Structure 1
Amino acid sequence: MNGPRREALPEGIAGLADFEAHARARLSEPAWAYFSGGAADELSLRANRTAWDALRLHPRVLRELAGGHTRTHLLDRELPHPILLAPIAYQQLAHADGEIASAYAAAAQDAGLILSAQSSTPLETVAQAMAGGAGPLWFQLYIQPDRGFTRELVQRVEAAGYQALVLTVDAPVQGARDRERRAGFKLPAPISAVNLAGAIPPARAALGSGQSALFDGLLSTAASWRDVEWLHGITRLPLLLKGVQHADDARQAMDLGAAGLVVSNHGGRTLDTVAATAELLPYLAEALRARAGPRASLLVDGGIRRGTDVLKAIALGADAVLLGRPYVHALATAGALGVAHALRLLRDELEIAMALCGCKQLSEAGPHLLWQTRP
């Protein structure tokens, strides 16, 4: 396996937002629309960012901070820091090295990586690139209409050394992505979802009068809670559900044996006008706290751009965060080096935020750290 390309980092990259303009200049209009766009009017896309901005930190001073660290625990494993790369499909659209570059960067910065089921690189190759890193390697999964293919894919994931499955549950259909349609986005050859090659597409049933191509056609094979129970029964890997937004669904997921949840609205890409993830996070954290039994892992994505956002997420009850679009911008800008630099910037900012808030370790962060949560 060849390593990633060696590239130079542009001057003037001081924060994650600085990658965006460089990425915009390098990507085609359709690719930019695919990675950066959201559903419909993109209200939830924008809300994800503004919700983190609306939270205000309430620091303590003159605390004893020597020996502080960013270590955390996730699925009974100690991690150097709570930052993982979110599952993002077709990364070769952003850079020729695609997911390989992201994996090398994650390994270099001890960050976790969740590989998309729609990766443009074989899952086994990505696992090899992640070898030696201290961060976890998980696989994001959509249950395919062909359940036999899904079982075989899970077996491949286990054999390749992935440590958890992340089942996306909030996208039984694609959202109305107006920006993509305006840009005429189509996946260019030879980029494809290589790990899904060979999956049998759902049969197109003949529709009767008054029937819906969506409800009576495509959704006739959509995943349900029965499939969550089935999936839990065919794998030895911990199972997390990504995209749960309602407390009742969170409780049902736990009842079916899920090891954790990813609080997510799919980056605002599926259903528009849903709540921002920073708003959903404390609500779902409370639902899990009120439930008897082992403590579930809780992660969050959507709008994370600064180390202060990571600290706020931990204060609201998250164990870790997923970084999304910014690392694709970094990937498009400078490949593996860009992604590694983005991760380093975010971790450095987290340490700065912790120090300035008087937090020696992440376990000291709680609602008291946020000004707006105070009476």
Structure 2
Amino acid sequence: MATIDGTELAKHNNRQSCWLAVHGEVWDATNFLDQHPGGANLILKLAGKDASDEYDLFHSPELVEETLGSKARKGTVDISTIPKMDKKSESGVKTGQSQPLSSMISVNDFELAAEKTMTPTAWAYISSGADDEISMRENANAYRKIFLRGRVLRKVARVDCSTNILGYHSALPIYTSPVGLAKLVHPSGECAIATAAGKEDCIQVVNTISSMPIEDIMDARVSKNQVVFWQLYADKDLEKSKTFVRRVEKAGVAAIWLTVDSPVVGNRERDERSKSVVDEMEKVVETTQSVGIAKASTGFINADLDWEMIDWLRKTTKLPIVIKGIQSVEDAVSAFHHKVDGIVLSNHGGRSQDTAQPPLLTLLEIDQYAPDILGKHMQVFVDGGIRRGTDIIKALALGATAVGIGRPVLYSMSGGYGEHGVRRMVQILRNELQTNMAFIGASNVGEIERGMINTRSLERMLVGSVKL
């Protein structure tokens, strides 16, 4: 393989000839520029330079060859010969001392700590919601509109929080939601989540845009029997999605979760304002607008899906299928008629369409207008706004099987906590859930029932009528 001098690499810094170095290897990305999901500008910003640090924040090591092909490899380079550039990229963690994990006594504590330890770019991407962030706030506020109606004189000396998710045992009625780009907050990325989930005996759902390859995530499990599900963003080229489904099947995932609530990327203003992904002052880049991380990483998503996608997915895989992103009782009933294995009530954490109704309200909608589909061959999950053990109880009392934990997973990883932070966060929820199950008189999750909650305040937000 040819050895390329850094000064030669630096000459290939434009749209007509775009080379970049990744971990000592030089790649020709010229023909890929307009295919890059985040746009050509993200690559052109690094043309003729060492792109290793920026690449590692978002991608797994082998992705460059999978994407560009072996013929795009031009040779190797001694990075010391590459002309130095003014580096403005950020690692996922600021310097500074993190608080002891023992000081984290609620899930909210991790968010407060994360704002101090994440870089501005990572914080803006992870914590932001769409537009005025009304939905993001209301996802959590909805739980405050439901009150518990505890039952007394019940034997609750031993409380069992375990449940069954798509036929698989879980020690808790929670799973880690498919958060993406976890390397933004910790170098172990999604692998740290896998290890933590295994040690706490709960299930991880892995994102299509994970920053670690699925094979590495599966290797990070504590045992080969540990269950992992995989979330699919359908590609504009469905053949690419088919190839990816085959890959994750081979890796050993146990179910496919198809996300349908984000055909386009929401207007996440804080993420856009950070604009750290593209430096507008780079004059070599032919650009008129900078983009945030969300738009830079999701340009491949297929916005032209309909319910026939379920049939396509069934022909592609025999794994259980879950539809993630249901926001109305009407679509919940449609999913039921399409005989999917589960649905996730979600507005994408308030990150897609602002003022979309909270998932808990959608669950109440189903309870009000289509209660017959709850617990009938299709499990219902709720994702968004869960911060307390009491929140979990309220969702289960309305018929949910389990709830997803999203942002708190990333918050708990930051500041160098990694796997240990995720475990601490899950343990906090476990303790709160056990305690409050005892208070309401439920010794196991099967005993949590509708009569244990007062939903009158939230009912005022219900849509007046629906057509099923």
- 1:348 has 2:438 as partner: no
Letter in 2 for 1:360: S
Gap change, CA 1:288 and 1:119, over 3 Å in 2: farther
- Aligned-pair CA distance for 1:147: 1.1
Structure 1 residue aligned with 2:350: 268
What RMSD, in angstroms, separates the aligned Cα atoms of the two structures? 2.6
Residues 80, 134 of structure 1: 8 Å contact kept: no
CA distance in 2, matches of 1:103, 1:286: 37
Gap change, CA 1:285 and 1:94, over 3 Å in 2: farther
SS at match of 2:403: strand
SS at match of 1:295: coil
Aligned with residue 88 of structure 1, among 167, 179, 187: 179
Q: Tell me which stretches of 4 or more aligned residues in structure 1 moved more than 6 Å.
A: none
Letter in 1 for 2:452: L
SS at match of 2:147: coil
Percentage of identical aligned residues: 35
Aligned with residue 366 of structure 2, among 269, 284, 287: 284
CA distance in 2, matches of 1:134, 1:349: 27
Q: Which runs of 5+ in 1 are unaligned?
A: 1-6, 203-217
CA distance in 1, matches of 2:175, 2:390: 16
CA distance in 2, matches of 1:307, 1:91: 24
Residues 374, 399 of structure 2: 8 Å contact kept: no
Residues 80, 135 of structure 1: 8 Å contact kept: no
- Aligned-pair CA distance for 1:268: 0.1
Structure 2 residue aligned with 1:362: 445
Bigger Cα displacement from structure 2, 46-55 vs 162-171: 46-55
- Aligned-pair CA distance for 1:370: 0.9
CA distance in 2, matches of 1:357, 1:172: 40
- Aligned-pair CA distance for 1:139: 0.2
Structure 2 residue aligned with 1:306: 388
CA distance in 2, matches of 1:134, 1:354: 29
SS at match of 2:311: helix
Bigger Cα displacement from structure 2, 125-134 vs 23-32: 125-134
Alignment of 1:219-258 (within 5 A): 222-258=304-340
- 1:152 has 2:152 as partner: no
Structure 1 residue aligned with 2:405: 323
Structure 2 residue aligned with 1:338: 421
Structure 2 residue aligned with 1:205: none
TM-score normalised over the length of structure 2: 0.69
Structure 1 residue aligned with 2:275: 184
Gap change, CA 1:59 and 1:336, over 3 Å in 2: same
- Aligned-pair CA distance for 1:175: 0.6
CA distance in 1, matches of 2:168, 2:190: 24
Structure 1 residue aligned with 2:51: none
- 1:61 has 2:61 as partner: no
TM-score normalised over the length of structure 1: 0.86
Question: Greater RCO between the two (CA within 8 Å, min separation 6)?
Answer: 1
SS at match of 1:243: strand
- 1:72 has 2:163 as partner: yes
SS at match of 1:40: coil
Alignment of 1:73-152 (within 5 A): 73-132=164-223, 136-152=227-243
Bigger Cα displacement from structure 2, 270-279 vs 221-230: 221-230
CA distance in 2, matches of 1:185, 1:134: 40
Structure 1 or 2, whichever has the larger Rg, is 2
Structure 2 residue aligned with 1:214: none
Question: Alpha-carbon deviations, 1:303-337, whole Å to 9, x = none?
Answer: 10111111111111110010011111100131110
Gap change, CA 1:292 and 1:107, over 3 Å in 2: closer
- Aligned-pair CA distance for 1:164: 0.5
Question: Alpha-carbon deviations, 1:230-274, whole Å to 9, x = none?
Answer: 012210100000001122222222222311100100000000001
Q: Which runs of 5+ in 2 are unaligned?
A: 1-97, 280-292, 460-468
Gap change, CA 1:276 and 1:187, over 3 Å in 2: farther
CA distance in 1, matches of 2:224, 2:420: 16
Residues 199, 222 of structure 2: 8 Å contact kept: no
SS at match of 1:322: strand
SS at match of 1:173: coil
Bigger Cα displacement from structure 2, 339-348 vs 52-61: 52-61
CA distance in 1, matches of 2:163, 2:227: 12
Residues 101, 421 of structure 2: 8 Å contact kept: no
Residues 110, 133 of structure 1: 8 Å contact kept: no
Gap change, CA 1:292 and 1:168, over 3 Å in 2: closer
- 1:372 has 2:372 as partner: no
Question: Alpha-carbon deviations, 1:40-60, whole Å to 9, x = none?
Answer: 000000001111122111111
SS at match of 2:107: coil
Residues 131, 267 of structure 2: 8 Å contact kept: yes
Gap change, CA 1:40 and 1:8, over 3 Å in 2: closer
Residues 250, 287 of structure 1: 8 Å contact kept: no
